[in-house]
């Protein structure tokens, strides 16, 4: 606590009240007598020396008359001779014009001692001298009093400089006047010229040691100079003189508080209050000291005493509020702050503290109102701007929060907390790159002790897929704060989810639990990792008292997962950790559910899951945790449908949709919050489609499904865009009701958590046809199998002969998918003789975007894909290009991953690029070594009509906007980059050798949004892409032949179909001729590639097994089913 905290109460000790209380001087003492001395004659100079020694002894050393007698006797001096000399000396003294007043005064003092005739003569001479000066002295005294009175009047009129000048004049006439020195000190103190004031007070107390007012005010000024120990000494001097001065006791208490001698300070205040119990300022400052001692209840009692005496003191109400907030009596604290503001509404510090408590109580709107008052009064209060931002952050008003943090940073650029919080707001807007830049600003200011920013930076890097860098950030945080449980949890989750290092992840979670055993997130994540781990690894395990006591925690798989959750419940009780208790019961339910998937006795597990979900509902209520409640109901509904408890499932679904609707319509949520919530809980939007289907409202069901698609596409591509364009059923029909498209039907899939629905839209149909399919569980099991097989295929894992490789097993996988989707039932309505359907528009949903649905239909149909009907409608408005002639070709960039490891080579990419470019007059070619993002963006802006990319691509499941084309080195051309361009001029984009829909082992809960969608939304008419990487030679064959189709008036879908049929039926003999023809076409442009083509032909010619077979080498769907066309129908 600073002395300034006590200045207001100390100011009550008015200097003016002590200024002019003059005291009378002490009357002289009584003389005494001395015996005569033997006669001794000396020279005048010797007598003068002896006489001055005598004066010194009497005046300076307080000799008594006995000591005087002894001195004379010792010198054997005759009194008569000394007196005779003294009379001569006196005559000379009286005749002189010099300043001899002090000498005369000392002679008078000798007379007062009473040392016989000598003393009498000395006293007479001194008094005579002084009497001669008396007239002059009286006049000087009168002049001094006039200046003194003038100084007092000027002080009252606050003319402090004039007052000092007057006191200086008074001291010229009366330099030994302690009152004038005291008054001068008071005025200097009022001007805060404290050092000069001390000099004046020192003169006053030297002249008058019992001047207690001077001692007291000297102490106050020393306190102002922070010379607290000297101040205590001054107050002690004042109290020696006047021990009942309550003001001195109070001031003494204040400076003792500054010296941290707090118990002594309390004693002083108690003394002051014993003398003056109605001193509100003493009660107040006593309360401050008690607050500092954390005797908060006593402090409040002191404040209350002060307020009983003086209820309109805003500072007492303010301090009372601070102490109440320390006691967590927040409502009472707010009431105290409100009282203070009634008295002094312009005190911004009170508004600020009020805002802090309201923020703590999560009353964010009221907190914002308080911070707004702060910055109205004090616009440069950067802490208020920062806290305003925090309140907005809590309300999820992220854009406004960022604006507040920017205000704070404009005032204080090195405000690391504001940089960190700004990063959090940006991360919540999914602006992770900007968030990282903010965190790094915070870390530039505090690199070695700001672990929270390192944690947040790691979380943002994780969202961007920069997993290695994220781990490094977490490690930096842990270096600063090894017991930071949140960092251990974040690091463990990343090791588990992205590195499959389950045992290392468990070690991280155990670290967190060492520090915080009731952290439910650590228990939940530990369970997930234990469930995925194959076996316990004792070499990676860390010591944990909990695991030492429960060996079940070393179990893995399903049993190990349950052990973690159940152990967590011991630390997270229902009455103390309602959220964690509910979430752990939900986690147990999930473990039971997934253990049952695919098992014969699945119902046994699912009944247990149902029971656990009901337990979780006890605490995860819609009132307390609405979003967690929704997530829980999603699992409960799923298991109820699985147990054929359809009525109960539908009832819970009804409840869930009601809660979902309330959240989306909440007046307390911003538009961004609502859209984010809708994306997060897309499963409930999908359930609405199920309800409409059950009600028989097929048109509304289709429109709702389409609206959901377009919402999510917009959310991913531009989250800030609020307007969602989505067509009605009649508008969707326009895609196929035009004269050129009347032989076209739309197959539209919709997958909810509990149903797969297929809509068939035919020309002129008054409503769509709905095809029933199997439950999603069948599709989930198929997806799991696909992921496992394809992942092994990509990694080159050898399979046993009884378990064919994914590539070998692809036809059977597609047959099974066709059964799950009930393709035979879909074909019947469109093969009807009355319809004459030849073309299909396939609009998949979620994971279905990733698979060759066209391969499930008979060859008689030509297929085009669309991400949504709305995109198809937008593309129909584009004017057709007669013959596209301008080609931009990017050729096999030498790409590397984040570890600087080269991507897999594409050995025939050069042949593909050269041959395709030979078909165009002036193609722009960008070789792999110069395929940077800037070069690509510049080239695309040249308004070519075809963009052909031969290289790798990746799909980012967590952050679709980071899906990208891999360019030279580690450069990337992301979906986000694509959405910044205008590509209206492009008729075709070809993505050769790109795995545009590979998600690893993840399933898509919302909707697939990839590179193809990005190109189409930016105006590209058609995109040719591959679902998986096809062997390089066959991929080159396919792409070259696609471009060789008869003319560009042929729709790309038709060209694709012809190319697929060509490749499927191509024999080796035909391929030899094809190689030779292509070699001849490119010889002049690239003789080396032409030679390579001839070499391929020669290899076949020299292989009897190939030259003699009539079996087409590329009939397998692996070679041709990967290629799809997405875009405008009949373009």
Q: Which has the minimum average pLDDT: 255-269, 728-742, 808-822, 941-955?
A: 728-742
CA–CA distance, 292 with 285 (Å, rounded to integer): 11
Secondary structure element (H or E) that encloses residue 579, with its range? helix 578-596
Select the more confidently predicted residue: 597 or 1020: 1020
Classify 303 as helix, strand or coil: helix
Say what the pTM is.
0.74
Closest among 857, 876, 881, 858 to 866, alpha carbons compared? 876
The pLDDT value given to residue 542: 84
Q: Which of 62-66, 431-435, 673-677, 991-995 reaches the highest mean pLDDT? A: 431-435
Greater confidence, 1081 or 1131?
1081
Q: What is the pLDDT of residues 78-119, one digit of tens each?
A: 777 788 888 888 888 777 766 777 888 888 888 887 777 888
Q: What is the mean pLDDT of the chain?
A: 89
550 φ, ψ to 5°? Answer: -135, 100
Spell out the domains of the chain, with CATH numbers in brackets.
Answer: 44-134 (no CATH), 878-1066+1112-1127 (3.40.50.1460)
pLDDT in tens, 284-332: 999 999 999 999 999 999 999 999 999 999 999 999 999 999 999 999 9
Please determine, for residue 999, whether its predicted confidence score (pLDDT) is greater than 90.
no
d(CA 216, CA 196): 16
Instruction: Please give the average per-residue pLDDT across 1056-1080, as a whole number.
Output: 96
pLDDT in tens, 613-631: 999 999 999 999 999 999 9
Dihedral sign from CA coordinates of 620, 625, 628, 631 = positive
Q: Is the pLDDT of residue 823 over 70?
A: yes
The Cα–Cα gap between 787 and 796 comes to 14
Closest CA to 354 of 406, 382, 403, 391: 391
pLDDT higher than 90, residue 933:
yes
> What is the predicted pLDDT for the residue at 66?
78
CA 463/CA 461 separation, integer angstroms = 5
Please give the average per-residue pLDDT across 15-23, as a whole number: 31
Mean pLDDT, to the nearest integer, of 472-477? Answer: 96
The token pair that represents 721 in the structure block? 């865009």
What is the average per-residue pLDDT within 4-32?
31
Provide the pLDDT for residue 671: 83
Average pLDDT of the segment spanning 243-254 = 93
Q: What are φ and ψ of residue 732, in 5° steps?
A: -60, -40
Among left, alpha and beta (phi > 0; psi -120 to 50; other), residue 76 is left
- Report d(CA 688, CA 879) in Å as an integer: 37
Q: Which residue has the higher pLDDT, 51 or 804?
A: 51
Helical residues (DSSP H) of 177-260, grouped into ranges: 178-190, 194-207, 212-224, 228-241, 246-258
**CB-based contacts of 1057, cutoff 8 Å, min separation 6:** 862, 863
What mean pLDDT is predicted for residues 760-764?
A: 92
Confidence label for 24 from pLDDT (cuts 50, 70 and 90) = very low
Helix%, strand%, coil% for the chain, nearest 5: 65, 5, 30
- What is the token pair recorded at 456? 């947040």
Structure token pair of residue 147: 């200046």
Please tell me whether residue 285 adopts helix, strand or coil conformation: helix
**Model confidence at 32: pLDDT above 90:** no
| Chain mean position to CA 418 | 8
- What's the pLDDT tens digit per position in 174-226? 999 999 999 999 999 999 999 999 999 999 999 999 999 999 999 999 999 99
DSSP tally for the chain: helices H, then strands E: 52, 14
DSSP helix/strand/coil, 1009: coil
Q: What are residue 865's phi and psi, to 5 degrees?
A: -100, 155
d(CA 995, CA 313): 74
% of the chain with per-residue pLDDT over 70? 93
**Which helix (H) or strand (E) is 973 found in, with range?**
strand 972-974
pLDDT of residue 4: 36
Residue-level pLDDT at 891: 92
Q: What angle do CA 643, 648, 651 make, to 5 degrees?
A: 140
Alpha-carbon gap, residue 323 to 297, rounded angstroms: 8
- Residue 15 pLDDT exceeds 50: no
- Which tens digits make up the pLDDT trace of 652-670? 999 999 999 999 998 878 7
Query: Among 305, 313, 394, which Cα is nearest to 11's?
Result: 313
CA–CA dist 472, 462 (Å, integer): 11
Q: Is the pLDDT of residue 31 over 60?
A: no
Q: Which two tokens stand for residue 1099?
A: 């290899």
Q: Name, in order, each residue with C-beta under 8 angstroms of 863's C-beta and a sequence gap of 6 or more.
A: 839, 840, 841, 842, 853, 854, 857, 1053, 1057, 1125
User: Judging by DSSP bridges, how do beta strands 953-954 and 964-966 pair with one another?
Assistant: antiparallel
Give the pLDDT confidence score for residue 10 in this predicted structure: 37
Q: And the tokens for 434?
A: 């900007």
The neighbouring-strand residues paired with 744 are: 839
Least confident of 235-249, 772-786, 1071-1085: 772-786
Pick from 1044, 1033, 1092, 1040: nearest CA to 1068: 1033
DSSP 1048: T
Q: For position 53, what pLDDT does the model report?
A: 87
Cα dist from 117 to 3, 34, 50, 124, 280, whole Å: 61, 8, 16, 10, 63
pLDDT score, position 5: 36
pLDDT of residue 8: 36
């Amino acid at each position: 606590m600073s002395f300034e905290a006590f200045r207001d109460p100390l100011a009550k000790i008015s200097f003016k009240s002590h200024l002019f209380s003059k005291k009378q001087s002490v009357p002289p003492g009584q003389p005494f007598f001395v015996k005569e001395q033997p006669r001794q004659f000396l020279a005048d100079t010797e007598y003068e020396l002896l006489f001055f020694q005598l004066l010194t002894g009497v005046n300076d050393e307080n000799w008594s008359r006995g000591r005087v007698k002894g001195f004379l006797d010792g010198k054997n001096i005759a009194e008569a001779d000394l007196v005779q000399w003294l009379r001569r000396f006196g005559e000379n003294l009286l005749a002189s014009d010099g300043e001899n007043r002090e000498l005369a005064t000392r002679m008078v003092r000798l007379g007062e001692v009473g040392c016989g005739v000598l003393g009498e003569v000395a006293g007479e001479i001194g008094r005579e001298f002084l009497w001669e000066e008396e007239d002059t002295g009286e006049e000087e005294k009168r002049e001094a009093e006039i200046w003194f009175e003038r100084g007092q009047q000027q002080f009252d009129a606050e003319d402090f400089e004039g007052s000092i000048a007057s006191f200086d004049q008074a001291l010229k006439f009366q330099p030994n006047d302690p009152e004038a020195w005291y008054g001068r000190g008071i005025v200097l103190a009022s001007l805060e010229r404290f050092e000069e004031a001390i000099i004046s007070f020192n003169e006053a107390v030297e002249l008058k040691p019992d001047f207690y007012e001077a001692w007291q005010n000297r102490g106050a000024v020393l306190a102002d100079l922070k010379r607290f120990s000297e101040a205590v000494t001054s107050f002690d001097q004042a109290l020696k003189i006047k021990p009942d001065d309550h003001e001195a006791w109070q001031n003494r208490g204040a400076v003792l508080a500054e010296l941290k001698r707090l118990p002594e300070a309390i004693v002083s205040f108690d003394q002051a209050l014993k003398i003056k119990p109605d001193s509100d300022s003493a009660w107040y400052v006593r309360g401050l000291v008690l607050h500092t001692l954390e005797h908060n209840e006593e402090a409040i009692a002191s404040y209350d005493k002060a307020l009983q005496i003086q209820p309109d003191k805003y500072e007492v109400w303010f301090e009372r509020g601070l102490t109440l907030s320390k006691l967590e009596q927040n409502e009472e604290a707010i009431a105290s702050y409100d009282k203070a503001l009634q008295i002094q509404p312009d005190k911004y510090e009170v508004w600020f503290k009020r805002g802090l408590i309201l923020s703590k109580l999560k009353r964010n709107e009221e907190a914002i109102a308080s911070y707004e008052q702060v910055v109205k009064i004090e616009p440069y209060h950067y802490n208020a701007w920062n806290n305003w931002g925090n309140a907005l952050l809590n309300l999820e008003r992220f854009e406004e929060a960022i604006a507040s943090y920017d205000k704070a940073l404009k005032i204080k650029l090195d405000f690391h907390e504001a940089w960190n919080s700004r990063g959090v707001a940006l991360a919540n807007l999914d602006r992770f790159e900007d968030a990282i830049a903010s965190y790094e600003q915070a870390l530039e200011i505090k690199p070695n002790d700001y672990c929270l920013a390192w944690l947040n930076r790691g979380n943002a890097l994780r969202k961007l897929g920069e997993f290695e860098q994220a781990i490094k950030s977490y490690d930096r945080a842990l270096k600063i704060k090894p017991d930071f449980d949140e960092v251990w949890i974040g690091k463990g989750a990343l090791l588990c989810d992205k590195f499959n290092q389950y045992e290392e992840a468990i070690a991280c979670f155990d670290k967190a639990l060492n520090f915080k055993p009731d952290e439910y997130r650590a228990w939940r994540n530990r369970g997930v990792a234990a469930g995925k781990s194959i076996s316990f690894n004792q070499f990676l395990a860390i010591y944990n008292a909990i695991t030492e006591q429960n060996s079940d925690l070393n179990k893995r798989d399903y049993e190990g997962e349950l052990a973690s959750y159940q152990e967590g419940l011991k630390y997270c009780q229902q009455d103390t950790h309602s959220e964690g208790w509910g979430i752990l019961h939900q986690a147990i339910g999930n473990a039971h559910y997934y253990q049952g998937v695919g098992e014969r006795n699945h119902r046994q597990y699912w009944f247990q899951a149902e029971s656990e979900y009901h337990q979780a509902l006890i605490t995860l209520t819609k009132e307390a945790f609405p979003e967690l409640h929704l997530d829980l109901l999603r699992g409960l509904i799923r298991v109820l449908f699985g147990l054929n408890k359809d009525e109960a499932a539908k009832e819970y679904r009804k409840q869930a949709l009601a809660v979902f609707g309330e959240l989306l319509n909440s007046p307390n949520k911003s538009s961004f919050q609502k859209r984010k919530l809708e994306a997060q809980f897309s499963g409930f939007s999908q359930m609405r489609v199920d309800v409409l289907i059950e009600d028989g409202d097929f048109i509304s069901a289709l429109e709702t499904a389409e609206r959901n698609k377009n919402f999510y596409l917009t959310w991913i591509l531009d989250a800030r865009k609020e307007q969602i364009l989505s067509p009605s059923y009649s508008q969707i029909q326009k895609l196929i009701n035009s004269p050129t498209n009347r032989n076209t039907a739309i197959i539209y899939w919709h997958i909810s958590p509990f149903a797969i629905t297929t809509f068939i839209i035919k020309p002129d149909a008054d409503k769509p046809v709905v095809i029933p399919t199997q439950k999603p569980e069948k599709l989930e099991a198929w997806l799991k199998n696909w992921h496992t097989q394809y992942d092994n295929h990509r990694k080159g894992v050898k399979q046993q002969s009884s378990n064919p490789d994914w590539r070998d097993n692809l036809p059977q996988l597609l047959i099974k998918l066709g059964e799950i989707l009930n393709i035979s039932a879909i074909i019947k309505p469109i093969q009807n003789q009355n319809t004459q359907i030849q073309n299909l528009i396939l609009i998949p949903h979620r994971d279905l975007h990733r698979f060759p649905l066209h391969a499930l239909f008979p060859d008689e149909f030509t297929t085009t894909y669309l991400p949504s009907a709305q995109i198809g409608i937008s593309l129909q408005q584009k004017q057709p290009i007669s013959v596209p002639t301008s080609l931009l070709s990017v050729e096999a960039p030498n790409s590397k991953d984040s570890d600087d490891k080269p991507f897999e080579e594409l050995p025939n990419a050069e042949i593909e690029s050269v041959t395709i470019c030979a078909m165009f007059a002036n193609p722009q070619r960008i070789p792999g070594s110069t395929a940077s993002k800037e070069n690509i963006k510049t080239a695309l802006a040249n308004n070519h009509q075809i963009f052909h990319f031969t290289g790798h691509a990746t799909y980012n499941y967590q952050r679709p906007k980071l899906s990208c084309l891999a360019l030279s080195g580690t450069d990337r051309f992301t979906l986000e980059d694509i959405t910044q361009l205008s590509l209206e001029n492009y008729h075709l984009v070809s993505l050769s050798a790109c795995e545009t829909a590979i998600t690893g082992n993840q399933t898509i809960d919302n909707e697939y949004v990839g590179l193809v969608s990005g190109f189409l939304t930016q105006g590209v008419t058609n995109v040719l892409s591959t679902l998986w990487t096809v062997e390089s030679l066959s991929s080159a064959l396919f792409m070259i032949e696609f471009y060789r189709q008869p003319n560009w008036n042929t729709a790309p879908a038709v060209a694709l179909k012809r190319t697929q049929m060509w490749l499927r039926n191509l024999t080796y003999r035909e391929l030899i001729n094809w190689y030779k023809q292509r070699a001849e076409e490119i010889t002049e442009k690239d003789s080396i590639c032409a030679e390579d083509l001839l070499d391929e032909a020669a290899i076949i010619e020299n292989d009897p097994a190939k030259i003699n077979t009539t079996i087409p080498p590329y009939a397998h769907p692996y070679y041709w089913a990967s290629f799809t066309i997405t875009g405008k129908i009949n373009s």
